[in-house]
Amino acid sequence: MTQGQQAEVAEFTTGAPASATTGWRAVFAFPNPVNEYAARITAGLVVVAAVATLVGGFGWGLVLIAVGFWLRVLFGPRISPFALLSVKVLAPRVGPAKLVPGPPKRFAQGIGAALSTAAVILYFAGFAVGAWILLALLIVAASLESFLGFCLGCAIFGLLQKRGLIPEDVCEACNNIALRAR
């Protein structure tokens, strides 16, 4: 195994980017690449939590889901309970990691954070039906990722990048098929 491959393995198993700088930027670093299996397992855990919240009508479940998304967006998998369980315990049991670009996954987590936060606001403002509709959308998106391996947020990221709304240098592997194949 080359030194670069060892760095990639260390990165997705620890959740800390191999290229992370020291200081405040390291606190908010997101791994790149990420283990697709860990991302899919995390999405599955979100589905379970969201379905339980929807079926049970637990408003505070919305808060916990939103906090989980924000933890993953801001800090990667280092402190999110779902991500830690996925990265450290469950994904290694699946087998060797399948590495995919990190920026689209972070973008997808950001969409989840926005939708779940909006659901929290709607719920506590007295618009529970709107909150449950947003939660159902999250369930659909997380189910696509978990069960089919289709990341809706990643697809949106790609479209925005093709339209020039996200600079190409944000994710060079997303633009260059040769880099994706490595």
Residue 135, classed as helix, strand or coil, is helix
Confidence at residue 78, expressed as pLDDT on a 0 to 100 scale = 86
Give the predicted TM-score (pTM) of the model: 0.80
> Using 50, 70 and 90 to split pLDDT, how confident is the model at 2?
very low
| Look-up of token digits 């719920």 | 123
- Nearest Cα neighbor of 157 from 110, 98, 99, 94 is 110
pLDDT for 45-59, tens place per residue?
999 999 999 999 888
Q: What does the block give as tokens for 9?
A: 């393995």
Q: How far is CA 34 from CA 39, 99, 106, in A?
A: 8, 5, 10
Instruction: Tell me the domain boundaries of the chain.
Output: 3-14+32-181
pLDDT for 69-94, tens place per residue?
999 999 888 889 999 899 999 999 99
pLDDT surpassing 90 at residue 32: no
| Look-up of token digits 């989980």 | 68
Beta strands in 10-167 (DSSP E): 34-35, 99-100
Confidence at residue 15, expressed as pLDDT on a 0 to 100 scale = 46
- Strand partners for 34: 100
